[in-house]
Amino acid sequence: MSDLFNDKAKNWDTGEMKRLISSAVGSSILKHVPLHQQMNVMDFGAGTGLISAQVVPFVNKIIAVDISKAMLDKLVSKPELQGKVEAVCQDITAKPINAKFDLIMSAMAVHHVEDTSKLINTFFAHLKPGAKVALADLDKEDGSFHPEGSEGVFHSGFERNELQQLLENNGFDNVRFFTIHIIKKQEKQYPVFLVVATKC
């Protein structure tokens, strides 16, 4: 599989929109998810570690999962992440990690996965009983957020009630949505949500 983010990784962290989204997601996770120093966390679609960097001071360890080696290479080069964040470059829906987590967090990655139900089921399988997911993504939009023909984009955001149903159908409860950011782009507004749910 080609690395769709190979050319983007080098300057990924310099984009203002990415920094604003990451800051909003990170602060929202810190606000809505109880963290503690014994927690082991998966950062799904971790990219260059913008979310991991905000969460790592409050947990034991983060496994940063992504299918882009270029993005993960950037992540592991950051001094502040060394020792507590481990990079794993693989598709966990095809090849699970032999570990259970207290939290799986993700920022703007779920719309890059074609089979959302399989992904949620994979998250469930990687979590300890009573553990949580905290997933940030776009509300359903008209397809204009990504440039036309963008590779690796399978969903134009998500309807909250449909995603809630999907989470509940795959073994999660106490599903809560928070609007955490509004992306302003080309005179349009795209709300970003964080959904937090607990494995039954």
Residue written as tokens 């300890």? 128
- For the segment 55-78, the average pLDDT, to the nearest whole number, is 94
Predicted pLDDT at 8 = 53
Q: What is the DSSP string of 85-130?
A: EEEEES-TTTS--S--EEEEEEES-GGG-S-HHHHHHHHHHTEEEE
Q: Say whether pLDDT at 169 is over 60.
A: yes
Predicted pLDDT at 2 = 46
Contact 55, 64 (CB under 8 A): no
pLDDT digits (tens, 9 = 90+) for 176-187: 999 999 998 888
Of 143 and 92, which is predicted with more confidence?
Answer: 92
Residue written as tokens 């929202």? 28
Q: Of 23, 99, 19, 29, which is closest to residue 61 (Cα–Cα)?
A: 99
Residue written as tokens 């779920």? 110
Of 99 and 10, which is predicted with more confidence?
Answer: 99
Residue written as tokens 């440039």? 147
Predicted pLDDT at 103 = 98
Q: Say whether pLDDT at 7 is over 70.
A: no
Cβ neighbors of 92 (< 8 A, separation 6 or more) are 44, 65, 122, 126
Of 145 and 60, which is predicted with more confidence?
Answer: 60
User: Domains of the chain (ranges plus CATH)?
Assistant: 14-199 (3.40.50.150)
> What residue type is 133 in one-letter code?
V
Predicted pLDDT at 32 = 97
Q: What is the mean pLDDT of the chain?
A: 91
